[in-house]
């Protein structure tokens, strides 16, 4: 899953780069055809990070993700080079997909993928972990709140004041550091080459059990109904 996600982002980015290159060729094609039998393209194409970030899905948990700040730059320079004769230039202008793939993208793809590998990996990992953390925090809050409500219903006549769910969680250390650890454990399990649904679920259950056990220490929740 992780590698497929990275690959998808990379390929979309590569196609975006070559769309820019093809636009340049199309703009200059008439001159190339009449002035010189061949054209060499050896240049740097600027990948704007703001454009690059559009490939990252937006969710309520990641809408504040600042990819420019994450990468520490607002652009990436990608090298692209090739040589075309007049006939090949015409193929590009006529949107010959097979030639574009074999003649333009193919010879450059390894270098481009190599250059984009680290930033794409960084964005992917940060995105997934940010998404997971938000989702985990919401779900654990729901579980603790349900356990609190169950305790409250059984102790309704005791006159004991039961703290709000967020105060219960804060008291037992369910803060940002706690959810960072929870997220890292789950992400690390899912990112293993031999990861399976069972192996990831096992880690998830262990972490949830710990969360509910922490909450139960306050004496204001009843986790007996959790399965």
pLDDT at 179 exceeding the cut of 90: yes
Position 180 scores a pLDDT of 92
Looking up tokens 């481009």, which residue turns up?
A: 112
Same domain as 204, residue 160: yes
Nearest CA-CA partner of 164 in 207, 215, 210, 211: 215
* Phi, psi angle pair for 47, to nearest 5°: -95, 110
Instruction: Report yes or no on 224 lying in a domain.
Output: no
- pLDDT at residue 1 greater than cutoff 50: no
* Domain end marker among 125, 153, 168: 125
Q: Name the domain count of the chain.
A: 2
Q: What is the dihedral of CA 45, 52, 185, 224, to 10 degrees?
A: -170
| Average per-residue pLDDT for the chain | 77
Which pTM was predicted?
0.62
Mean per-residue pLDDT, 181-203:
90
Q: Both 149 and 44 in a single domain?
A: no
Residues 106-128, mean pLDDT to the nearest whole number: 79
Q: Which of 21-30, 120-129, 180-189 has the lowest mean pLDDT?
A: 21-30
Domain end residue (candidates: 93, 125, 157): 125
Domain of 85? 2-125
Answer whether residue 144 is part of any domain: yes
């Amino acid at each position: 899953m992780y590698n497929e996600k990275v690959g998808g982002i990379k390929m979309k980015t590569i196609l975006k780069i070559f769309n820019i290159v093809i636009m340049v060729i199309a703009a200059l094609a008439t001159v190339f055809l009449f002035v010189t039998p061949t054209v060499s393209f050896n240049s740097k194409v600027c990948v704007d990070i703001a454009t690059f970030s559009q490939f990252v899905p937006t969710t309520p948990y990641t809408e504040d993700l600042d990819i420019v700040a994450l990468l520490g730059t607002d652009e990436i320079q990608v090298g692209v080079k090739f040589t075309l004769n007049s006939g090949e230039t015409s193929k590009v202008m006529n949107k010959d997909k097979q030639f574009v793939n074999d003649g333009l993208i193919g010879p450059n793809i390894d270098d481009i993928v190599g250059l984009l590998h680290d930033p794409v990996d960084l964005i992917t990992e940060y995105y997934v972990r940010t998404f997971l953390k938000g989702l985990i925090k919401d779900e654990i809050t729901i579980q603790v709140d349900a356990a609190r409500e169950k305790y409250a219903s059984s102790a309704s006549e005791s006159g004991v004041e039961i703290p709000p769910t967020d105060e219960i969680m804060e008291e037992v250390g369910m803060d940002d550091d706690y959810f960072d650890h929870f997220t890292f454990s789950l992400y690390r399990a899912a990112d293993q080459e031999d990861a399976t649904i069972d192996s990831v679920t096992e880690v998830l259950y262990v972490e949830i059990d710990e969360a509910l056990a922490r909450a139960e220490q306050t004496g204001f929740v009843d986790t007996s109904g959790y399965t």
